[in-house]
Structure 1
Amino acid sequence: MRIYNLLRSKEEKAVTTRTKAGAPPGTMVYTGHRQMEQVHMHLTQYHGDFLEVQTVEEDIPTPRTEEATLWYDMRGLHNLELVERLGKQYGMHPLALEDVVDVHQRPKMEVYEDGVLIVIKAFAFEPTTRDLSIEQVSIYLSESTVLTFQEDGGDLFRSVRKRLETSSGRIRSRGPDYLAYALVDNIVDKYFTVIDQIESELDKLEDTIMRSPEMSTKSQIHDLRLALLTLRKSISPLRELMNRFSDTESRQITADTQVYVADLRDHVIQITDLVETYRDVTNGLYDLYVSEISFRMNSVMQTLTIVSTIFIPLSFLVGVYGMNWDNMPELHTQYGYFVLWGVMICIILGMLAWFRSRRWI
């Protein structure tokens, strides 16, 4: 089923590519397959002690004041007309709009004359099924506005909203560039959660392999290896993104915010190192699994070999005295049966003692 889903995803991407082939730059084509019944638009506006939140469906809420910092959070990208309306209302470049609805983008940062576009991947890991879900998030920063675009209806920025509502920290007192940083930082922090969950699954797998490996263990290792490969593919470009974010000369990003972005860059480097480490751990677990299976197989073969070796002389004796020739004097011995049993028992005990002296058992 997993392979089928991967193939289906590739087929959908190929169909989208054929659809976009030959189209002029800036053509908006939604390349995802997630569609919501209603596109939700959330507007959060704040300035000092002022904070107001509006939520509408299939429309763009109107700001109450022009002095506040505006944060539009759009959930659902299949409504291209609404995405285009919101983007053009706040001066988004056509190429930025094209990247927003193309959910197969590589994480990146693009600087335009009137704004900055950040494309990043959000992850969620389900330990019971070992599935890693991916969602592309686009963040557009302009002079006084932050636009975020999500594929799903879930709220990825719940903690940021809580900080705004409780007026905790410095987020209320700073501009939209700090809000954009806080949104990216929120997604990066969730990478640590995903990696911790994968680490926990790796520890469980190691215990299982050392205790009693099963055939399903191999597929579990493969699932975790695939999840880490996907993480690595999406996290590796973040270094370049963070370098541009912290060093850009765009007027939308102040020097004060770039200090915090530099710290976020260190987090990205740490996450990248963790992913590489756990990829090595996963490869080591697979080698351990193969070694453990081979060891158990060798143990079984050793036991069978010892049993066979013991029964070879016994089978010879039984075969010789089972021929029933008339001129075999042992057949007429009064205690021959008991003597033969005694000889066979001595052979068994002697061979077991020899095997133990050679440390074969």
Structure 2
Amino acid sequence: MSLTKLAKHNPVSRAVSKRKRKNTGLAPGSLVFTGTKHLEEAAVTLTEYHAEGVIYEQSSLGQLPTPHEGGFIRWYDIRGLHHVPLIQELGDLYNIHPLVLEDILDTQQRPKFEEYDNGLFLIVRALSLNAQEQRVETEQVGIFAGEGFVLSFQENETDLFSGVRDRIRSGRGKIKKRKADYLAYALADNIVDHYYVLLDQLDVMLDGLEEEILSDANRSTKGRIHSLKLQSITLRKSVAPLREAIGQFSRSDSAFIDEGTEVFIRDLHDHSVQVMDGIDTFRDMISGLYDLYLSEISFKMNSIMQVLTIISTIFIPLTFLAGIYGMNFDHMPELHWRYSYYVLWAVMALISAALIYYFRRRNWL
């Protein structure tokens, strides 16, 4: 089967075949936004803090504050990647490698971890469940951490890190007492934590689907099972490379990672492994649901065939009697009896009752 025909029969392949990369053929480091989400205005939230206090600023797209020295951590939360000049300005401001900026704008990147002379770069995928369409939605998030600063980039306007921001504001946890590497870990950990919420939501969907299969399995049920199977592929494509990336993060000996942060990153890696195990369990449960669906359909079909077979079996002797007395012979004594019609009906009813009784004794009914 050709690739074109295969794409027509496989919705996942068809979606991939329609995806066109906008930066194909360009020089490495070319800044081209490959996503589809265009906000009216990119939002840049600057959070500046140190161990003693926090300063919040909502920055416009105008002049960005210059880097400074002295114990402060600056966190730029950028939402809206379509504004390429803003990404370029931040890259120039903190001397970020052009390949990093290219990966940030290319929303089709797989999760990964890279080390650079002036910082660490991590790409993760935020996952959420569209309850109305019962579909898993993904969003690429880029995190670059250097000496005294962290940049986080996302395509949509949704605030993924409100919990981290609240922890900084309230002083809870260790973020304010540690360096930028811990903030980068906290942002990645916040995304991974939401994976557990997503798995719980999918588990509820599986429970509801199982009840539907046991009560009334139909064609729409089969479609929902197939849809969940496709969602499991999306989950695995997002989390499997992330597990590898966080594993590299936990094993990194970069000077930007404090010794005290390493244990937290290893714990994050354990969480990613647990999520991956949960996704594998989810895939196994979907396969089990499909087998259950086939069993229920087969059971219903067998029940229908059983009823039809019993009805046919009952009518075979009745048809035999009707065939005999429907023949045009002159010498059939029963045809001239006064009560022969009623006797025939009685015999047919007796045969039907006897067969039904026999079927019930054999537990066929």
Band the TM-score falls in, shorter-chain normalisation: over 0.9
Match for 1:252 among 239, 252, 256? 256
TM-fit CA distance, 1:233: 1.1
Letter in 2 for 1:297: M
Matches within 5 A, 1:104-253: 104-253=108-257
1:71 aligns with: 75
The 1-side partners of 2:11 and 2:38 are apart by 21
TM-fit CA distance, 1:116: 0.6
- Could you tell which deviates more after superposition, 133-142 or 336-345? 336-345
The 2-side partners of 1:52 and 1:194 are apart by 33
**Alpha carbons 1:163, 1:169 under 8 Å: kept:** yes
Q: Please tell me whether residue 308 in structure 1 is matched to residue 312 in structure 2.
A: yes
The 2-side partners of 1:87 and 1:253 are apart by 21
**Alpha carbons 1:74, 1:148 under 8 Å: kept:** yes
Match for 1:54 among 48, 52, 57? 57
Q: Deviations over 1:119-169 (max 9, x none)?
A: 000011123321111100000000000000010011000100111111111
Matches within 5 A, 1:309-328: 309-323=313-327, 325-328=329-332
Letter in 2 for 1:80: V
1:35 aligns with: 38
Q: TM-score, normalised by structure 1?
A: 0.94
TM-fit CA distance, 1:322: 3.0
The 2-side partners of 1:15 and 1:240 are apart by 25
Q: Deviations over 1:261-293 (max 9, x none)?
A: 111111111111110011011011111111111
Give 3-state SS (helix, strand or coil) of 2:20's partner.
helix
The 1-side partners of 2:293 and 2:205 are apart by 15
TM-fit CA distance, 1:316: 1.8
**Alpha carbons 1:209, 1:217 under 8 Å: kept:** yes
Letter in 1 for 2:207: D
Q: Please tell me whether residue 335 in structure 1 is matched to residue 328 in structure 2.
A: no
1:88 aligns with: 92
Q: Please tell me whether residue 350 in structure 1 is matched to residue 354 in structure 2.
A: yes
TM-fit CA distance, 1:95: 1.0
Identity of aligned residues (%): 45
Give 3-state SS (helix, strand or coil) of 2:40's partner.
coil
Letter in 1 for 2:162: R
Q: Deviations over 1:68-118 (max 9, x none)?
A: 110001111111111011012012111111111111111000100011100
**Alpha carbons 1:164, 1:172 under 8 Å: kept:** yes
Match for 2:283 among 279, 282, 292? 279
The 2-side partners of 1:300 and 1:232 are apart by 40
Structure 1 gaps of 5+ residues are: none
Q: Deviations over 1:179-218 (max 9, x none)?
A: 1110000000000111111111111111111111121001
Letter in 2 for 1:55: Q
TM-fit CA distance, 1:66: 4.2
